[in-house]
Amino acid sequence: MKRAIAVGLLLLTATPALGQERDYCPTRPGLGTTPCTISPKRVSVETALTDWTRDDQTDERSDTVLIGDSFVRVGVSDSIEAQVGWTPYGHVRTRDKASGAIDSKGRVGDVTIGAKANLLHPDGSGLSIAVQPFAKLPVGRKPVGAGTWGAGVIVPATYDLSDTLNLATTTEIDAAVDEAGHGRHLAYSEVIGLEFKLSSALSATFEGKVTRDEDPGGATTKGLASASLAWAARDDLQLDIGAVAGLNRSAPDLELYLGVSRRF
């Protein structure tokens, strides 16, 4: 009897430990997001150390640099996590091609709050699906902040095609802020990507994204292509680098970024 009780207590105490051993799955890098959730009582801090975007349009060119753009995920239950994101600093430099005038602004960005509920396989294995509603709070100011609140919902899904190949999709529908800085309109996007596991620690991801934005000032359709590398330096630490290229005139020309993700 004593032996049976001892074995039972051992199994009870081992169960939470097994839950903590779920593989780390940051949302970085790339254009889409992941359906897996952080284990209960664990925290993931995912930061773009630097992020530069160039947008060269017919009448002007803008360069945007974000520093420390961060996303924090907190495990609430086995399949639910709470989320908060914030851009502590962004700098936008715009040059008018006709006059040569240059306008530079440094601003704090907005705060994003949300949650993710995994519907199937919270560790991201096999076929995994989640729902992620969010809201953006107008903490910052334009041109880094949006100027007023926005909201939306993201539905990410992944499927393991093999031990080394993973198919991912991310569907998003937003009540996006109007370019004028007040009011909201419909915007929606779709991301499709393939992740290749090159080794136990290194993976490469290739994605395509199409966004339709029904802004009252002028509707646009943007196409993007992305390539990124992620290196798991340790079980709880990932470094990443990536590039995004615009595929049509409405999309920004180029984005380069470098980031780090750490689980606590």
pLDDT-based confidence at residue 8 (cuts at 50, 70, 90): very low
% residues pLDDT > 70 (the chain) = 92
Residue with the two structure tokens 């970024």: 257
Q: What is the mean pLDDT of residues 13-25?
A: 59
Is pTM beyond 0.85? Reply is: yes
% residues pLDDT > 90 (the chain) = 84
For the chain, how big is the Rg over CA atoms in Å? Answer: 20
**Tokens of residue 128, six digits:** 């995994």
pLDDT exceeds cutoff 70 at 23: yes
Nearest to 39 by CA among 65, 2, 75: 75
Q: Write out pLDDT tens, residues 51-79.
A: 999 999 889 999 999 999 999 999 999 99
pLDDT at 141: 86
pLDDT-based confidence at residue 10 (cuts at 50, 70, 90): very low
Pairwise CA distance, residues 191 & 24, whole Å: 22
Pairwise CA distance, residues 153 & 26, whole Å: 19
Tell me 29's DSSP state: S
pLDDT exceeds cutoff 60 at 11: no
Q: Is the dihedral of CA 208, 85, 36, 213 positive or negative?
A: negative
Q: Write out pLDDT tens, residues 210-262.
A: 999 999 989 999 999 999 999 999 999 999 999 999 999 999 999 999 999 99
- In the chain the domains, ranked by start, together with CATH numbers, are 23-263 (2.40.160.40)
Q: Beta-carbon neighbour count of residue 81 at 10 Å?
A: 26
pLDDT exceeds cutoff 90 at 20: no
**CA 114 to chain CA centroid, nearest Å:** 12
pLDDT at 2: 44
Buried b (16+ CB within 10 A) or exposed e, 156-193: bbbebeeeeebebbbebebbbbbbeeeebbebebebeb
Element housing 14 (H / E): helix 2-20
